[in-house]
Every structure is written in C-alpha cells, then in structure tokens.
Chain A
Amino acid sequence: MSEQLALLPGYLSAHVRLTLAALAAGILLAVPSGILVHRVRALEMPVLTLAGVIQTVPALALLAAMVPLLSALGLPGIGPLPAFLALVLYSLLPILRNTVTGLGGVDLAVVEAARSLGMTSGQRLWQVELPLALPVVVAGVRTAAVWTVGMATLSTPVGAPSLGNYIFGGLQTRNSAAILTGCVASAVLALVLDGLVRLGATGLAGRRRGLLAGAGLGLAALAAWAWMPAVRTEYAATARPILVGAKTFTEQYVLAEVLAGVVRAETGRSARVLASLGSTVAFDALRRGEIDVYVDYTGTLWATVMGRKGAAPPREEVRDGVRRWLKEEAGVTLAASLGFENAYCFAVRGETADRLGLRTLGDLARHASSLSLASDYEFFAREEWRAVESAYGLVFRERRTMDPSLLYQAIDTGQVDAITAYSSDGRIDALGLVVLEDERRAIPPYDAVVLAGPRLSREAPEVLATLRSLEGAIDAATMRGLNRLVDEQGLSPAAAAARFLAAPPVGGT
C-alpha cells in the first residue's frame, strides 16, 4: 500500500492538471456558446444536437479517436493533448445545455424590466440574466466536473498519466491495492471539486464573500499544487527522459520497467515508463518519436503492422523479415531479441483435453461447435484469428471477449472451455492448462523484440547500444517466473523488474 501511496503525488497532480485545464476550457467555450445560442435561437437545435452527439460517443472511444485524428494533423497523438481535447469535448454538453436552460428560465417580466430601465444588452446579460441563470449553470459545471474527473482515469491508454494508471495497471497485474487507491483518489477528487464549485456558487448567490473566497482559494491551492514544479518533476525530469512504452498486460509492464532500469543503470539517463498503451498506439507512438522504446512481438508486427497473411515462415525468417521491414519502412530499429516467445496460443483445461482427446488445433476444430472460447479485446480483430479460423475451420458455439487478466479465471472456473493464452504466461502451468499445437503454423512466431524509435537511434546511440546488449537476456522460463511474481504473488511490475535487474538469471551475450 505504501508503495502505491508513493505514486500518488505524481498521478494525482497529473489528474488534477488534466481535469482543471479541461474544465476551465470547457467553461470558457460552453458558457459563451450557451449565451450565443440563447440570443440566436436558430442555433439552438444544431449546437445542442452536436454537443449531444459528442456525448453519445463512449468516453473511451472518444479518447481513442483523438489519437489518429491528432496524428493526421501532425500534432502529438499520445500524451496529455488527446486526453485534454476529449475531456473538453465531453464537458461541453452539461455546461452548454444548462447555460441555455438557465438563461431561458429567467422570468420574462424581469428581462423586460431590465430593458425598460435602459440597460444595454450587455448590462442586461451581466447584471440580470447571468446572475439569475447562475444556479442552473453551476449545476451544469458540477456535472461536468464529476464527469471529467471520472473520464480522466480513461486517459491512461492514450499516454496521459492520471489516476487511471492505478486502475489500468492494477487490473492487469491483479493488484487490488492499486485499483482501490485509484478509485478512492478519483472519487475523493470528484467530491472535492464538486464541493468547491458548489461552495463558490453558494457564496456568489448569497453574497457571502467568505464562502466565495474560500472556494476560490481552495481551487487556486489545488491548481498551484498540481502545477508546482516540484510535483511535476515527479513525472517529467528536466532533461527529456527516455520514454519506455508498455501495452496493457503484465509482461509489458515488467519488461518496460526492466528496460527503464537497464537504461538508468547503464547510461545514467533518466527513463520513464508510459504504461497501458493500446497495441497499435504503441507502435505508432514509437514511429513518431512520442515514445523511444518498447517491446513488441514479431508475430504481431508481421500480421498486424505489416499485414502479412497466410502461413508464416519459421521463427528466424520472420524475425529477419520484420527487422528489414521496420528499418526500411518505419525507420525503427530492432535492437534485440530478448530470447523468448510470447505467442497467442489456444489453451484448454487438462480435464477437457483428456475427455475430448485434444492435442492439436485440428482436434479442437472437430469439437469447437460444442465449446466456448474467450479471448482478449483485440484477437478476434487480428489477422492471426482470421488465419487460424480459415486454416482449421474453427467455429465455436460461443465467442467472448474480456480483459486479458480475467481469461485465466474464466477458464479455471469453467465459465469458458477454451481461451487464447499468451505462451509466456505463468498461469498456464499454474492452472494445469494444456496448450494445443498449431500444426499448420497458422499463427506466426512471436519473438519478443526490443524496438527503438528513429529519434533514439539518432540522438542517443549509447542507449541503443545498451538495449542491444539485452539480446537473449530473458528466456521463456525467466519471463514466466517474472510474470508469476506479479500475477500470483502480487509484486508490482517495478518490484519484479528490480528483482531481475539485481540478479539476472541469464547473462547477456
């Protein structure tokens, strides 16, 4: 728990910065738009409809959509910018709608009185309409504040650190202390923000200067703390650190910590892990220099990034093909092959294998119509699935998609009959699962490889050299052991990585 709390200032301050900035921008955009819509009635339908449509897009999808959108515009597609923009868009509707409703609800006799006394349009707005609409507008701001705090936790996968790092990381590594810390911290933050806004509004409406000043001071203090250089450097070291990316599962977290640790120890440069990136988000981020290094798998690159179809050639051939392609097409360097594979594989319970006589995917295909299969978020959308499906004619009774960390629990408790597992996962052995052989080689080999971005190769050759020294440094047994430390024994990825770095069981070549 204390390990989790040590991360709190960094995550919380990033979360506060993101939330306050987005909320401030949302207010600055939505209130004037609401006033405009109130005065120019023809705009009401189109503007409110547009804001409503944005709102119907699921928060996570809106965030994800920002990544390619910003990249297409030549802006940083990962990091705080896409998260900020998505949050601003999301905060618009409640504030906009309440501004329009609030202004529309002002008694017409009062508005006429204001005109009859000789107020100009601006005086009427500031002295009469806005003060009277204020309670409704503030209610909208409070709604937006709570939504924004909640949605900011989803910005972790697009590379913006937030309290979501606790939640995403914790879900993958089955660390309930981390999940709890993230949830409690964001709930408390939402309540505090909501309370401060309400307090300020009460002070303003009731003309109690003490309350208004208290709320203003509270918000200012929160902002000052979040933007304080000392707190920010928790996250961003003064010289640009080497950014190590990680996708959304345990092995990736551990490997990212290992890479960061090696870079720090061997080159003295600061290194920071940017965790929980989507699979293709990570590759695109590397190509564009938004992260410097991460671990990917040759099969994933072969099928998803290079778009190769059909049966794959043997392991070395795939690796060499990937290496060449990355260099020529993307300017990315394959720095090292770590020495183990983490392939998608199909696994069933030992009991199921015995009962049905399952040994290969061909055997599975004969029984598939009476079995259910579960996989992670992306597999069914990947080339590998299409390849397996057509090679073996796999048709399952039911196909389910769930979080990778829940797959093993689902098969162990008999809720599904088969899962797509990761071959380096420690839980295959721990749960006595049987991996079925891919005798037609429909799934390509998945060598874990360290990829370095074009900028790193150019600007930090010493870091690249260090990464190259990791060739063959981690074999399959070691990786499974490290994964088990996190998944079964509840160590943090950083702690597991530290154990490996202190005493690497297999030396570099």
Chain B
Amino acid sequence: MIEVAGVTKRYGGTVAVADVSFHVAPGEVLALVGDSGSGKTTTLKMINRLVEPDAGRVRVDGRDTLTLEPHVLRRSIGYVLQGAGLFPHRTVAENVAVPLRLLGWPRDRIDVRVAELLALVELDESLAGRLPAALSGGEQQRVGVARALAASPRVMLLDEPFGALDPLTRDRLQRSFDALRRRLALTAVFVTHDMAEAVTLADRIGVMRGGRLVQLGSPAELVRAPADEGVARMLDTPRRQARLVADRLEGRA
C-alpha cells in the first residue's frame, strides 16, 4: 500500500533522512520509533509530500506520489498531528468537515457524514457547535482523528498523535484507535518516541537513528534479534518498567 524506496532529505549540510526504504502492506500499521532528530517525522512527512524528498521514490496505492499535485495527494491521505492542529476559528463540526468541503461534497451529505464521524470517535453530538478552545486535550485529539478520517482515506499518517495527553486519556485514545483501525482496515504509519506505544499499537516497528532506519520488524522479531545494543535497550526499557510496576503493585518489592 505504501512503498518508500531510498528516500533522502538534506537540510543545508546535515542529512535528516538517509536512504530509507520500507513497505507497508494493506491493513498494516507501522510505527516509526526514535529519539528527536532521528528523522522519523521527516520520513513520515515525505509520504504525503509535506516535505519533498531530495532523492528516492514514494508510492501510495501503487502510484508514484510525484505524479499527483501535492494537495490532491494529501486529500487522499488522512493526517493526524500532535496536539490535533485544529482550526481555532472553526467549530468542531466545521473542522471535521474541512476535507469534505475541499472535495466539494454537498452540504446535506457533509452534515450526515460529520455526525457519523463524531459517533465513530465517540464524541458527544453536543460538542459539534463548540470551538476547539472549549474542548479538553483528549476531545481535541478525537476531533483531529475524525477530521483525518472524514474522506474515508485508506491510508493514515499520524505524527505523535497521543504525545501531549495525560496517561489515562492516552490509554483510552490508544484503545479507540486500535479498534478503529481494525474496523476500517486502515493502513497507517505513525511516529512515536514511546516504544511501549509502538509495541501496543503497531504490527511492525521501524527503529530510526541519525536519519537511518536501523531495524524493521515485528515487536517479537525486534526482541528476539535486536540489530544492535541501542535497539535492545529501547525494547528492554518498557519491559523493565512494566515488571517493576507490576512487582510494586503486587507488593513484591
């Protein structure tokens, strides 16, 4: 569904992303994990051409992304930003309707679809007329997801979608997303620096460091045969923490 082949991005003298390649199968969710500056977000943005690659090719649904106008390409791909990136001067319903209006849907169909989407992301209908500022962070992020899903894209890109939320909200949203993506058979790439989140939500994980894709595989593969010391440590940390939490909660330490 998504084929990334040898993409590279330089900013001035520094290489942000170096020769990264991977495939994402239909219905698969891939997590890109790495520290800040590892090139994971830049790689994500090269898929819908928010960032133009200096070299390499990207295909989405079999088509070279360079054959499409960038805005046309983006309308077919859902995109969720950290902190939702909602339009502060538009109501919840209007925010969700933006992709539909860009596609020229008629008014009555938009209204029906918006109601459907709000239900899908478990938002109360009464919020439809509110401005984003009146919503909690979790609610805002749900609106962001609803907006990304509005035009029924088959591919979703998510840039640290749950990064700015409190742990409880985060957990609830993660579970909603997991349910949604199975129900809609979404193909998705999401960026996170949280290995626990990647393990929970992704079918496969790509570990990035210094602009390179260091290892790509299922969580089990990564644990069994980590490419290097760093990858091993990244996977070990959440495990150790989880064990520690479980031990203390059960009074064993």
Contacts and interface: CB of A to CB of B under 8 A. Distances in A.
A116 B99 CA distance: 10
Contacts of B85: 109-110, 112-113, 116
A173 to B, nearest CB: 54
Contact of A118 (B84, B87, B99): B99
A117 interface: yes
B50 A119 contact: no
B83 A117 contact: no
Contact of A117 (B84, B88, B102): B102
A185 to B, nearest CB: 38
Interface stretch (B58-66, B73-81, B119-127, B197-205): B73-81
Nearest to A124: B71
Contact of B89 (A117, A118, A119, A205): A205
A132 B89 contact: yes
Contacts of B187: none
A509 B196 CA distance: 111
A116 B50 contact: yes
A308 B66 CA distance: 78
Interface string A116-136: 111110010001100110000
B71 A116 contact: no
Interface residues of B, number: 22
B30 interface: no
A327 to B, nearest CB: 69
B88 A132 contact: yes
A109 B41 CA distance: 14
Given A109-B83, A205-B89, A117 B48 contact: no
A117 B75 contact: yes
Nearest to B157: A116
B193 interface: no
Contacts of A116: 48, 50, 74, 79, 81, 85
B81 A120 contact: no
A113 B74 contact: no
A126 to B, nearest CB: 12
B72 interface: yes
A397 interface: no
B48, B73, B82, B85: which has the most chain A beta carbons within 10 Å? B85
B141 to A, nearest CB: 13
B87 A119 contact: no
Contacts of A112: 50, 81, 85
Contacts of A128: 87
A127 B71 CA distance: 15
Interface in B87-114: 87-89, 98-99, 102
B7 interface: no
B85 to A, nearest CB: 3
B212 interface: no
B86 interface: yes
Contacts of A205: 89
B47 to A, nearest CB: 11
Interface string B120-145: 00000000000000000000000000
A115 interface: yes
Nearest to B147: A117
A128 B85 CA distance: 12
A348 B208 CA distance: 92
Nearest to B95: A113
A114 B71 CA distance: 10
**7 shortest A-B CB distances, which residue pairs?**
A113-B85, A118-B75, A118-B74, A116-B79, A109-B85, A118-B71, A120-B71
Interface of B: 48, 50, 71-76, 79, 81-89, 98-99, 102, 147
9 contacts: A112-B85, A116-B79, A118-B72, A118-B75, A118-B76, A118-B102, A119-B71, A119-B102, A127-B87
Given A109-B81, A205-B89, 8 more contacts: A107-B88, A110-B86, A114-B87, A117-B74, A118-B72, A118-B73, A118-B76, A119-B98
